Amino acid sequence: MNRHTIPLGRILGIPIGLDYSWFLIFGLITWTMAVGYYPAEFKNWPAVQYWIMGAATAIMLFVSVLLHELGHSTVAMSYKIRVRSITLLIFGGISRIEAEPPSATAQFWISIAGPAVSFALAGLFFLLQPVSRMLRRYWPWVNIWSISTSCWACSI
């Protein structure tokens, strides 16, 4: 972790951090959802509920990104590669692993693990759509979006 990262704790022994840039996207997602999506989808909610749900949506997006990165990290650890940290950033997350994978096969499985987690979450939310109107249009697509943003961040 560096001085621009807020430590959040450890999961599976991996230090989890939050880059300060995260607050910008957190604010933008919260605002967008609170003034756009939720008022259009749920017309009878009080204004404060739109803002609470907007903030919850932003947090859940980053929980999805964290789970995506944990997918990469757990598979890397199964190949005996130490994961130094996971950092959540403005456009996704980065898993910092200590060494190159031992083979192309290992690299493939480590690379595919994150998107597999995101697809699984998208599928879960899609299956839960009949249970909740909130899941109908937004949550399955959040995880599909997290694949592209997290994997973009993985490549830098």
Active site residues: 69
pLDDT at 132: 62
Give CA 57 to chain center in angstroms. Answer: 11
pLDDT at 12: 94
Q: How far apart are CA 113 and CA 74, in angstroms?
A: 8
The domain limits of the chain are 5-154
Q: What share of residues in the chain are helix, strand, coil (percent, to 5)?
A: 65, 15, 20
A 10 A CB-CB count for 5 gives 18
Asked whether the predicted pLDDT for residue 155 surpasses 50, the reply is no
55-64 pLDDT per residue, tens: 988 888 888 8
Is 0.85 surpassed by the pTM of this model?
Answer: no
Rounded average pLDDT over 124-131 = 73
Strands 14-19 and 5-11, sheet pairing: antiparallel
Rounded average pLDDT over 39-54 = 90
pLDDT at 152: 46
How far is the CA of 24 from the CAs of 44, 89, 138, in angstroms?
Answer: 28, 10, 21
Q: How far apart are CA 112 and CA 105, in angstroms?
A: 11
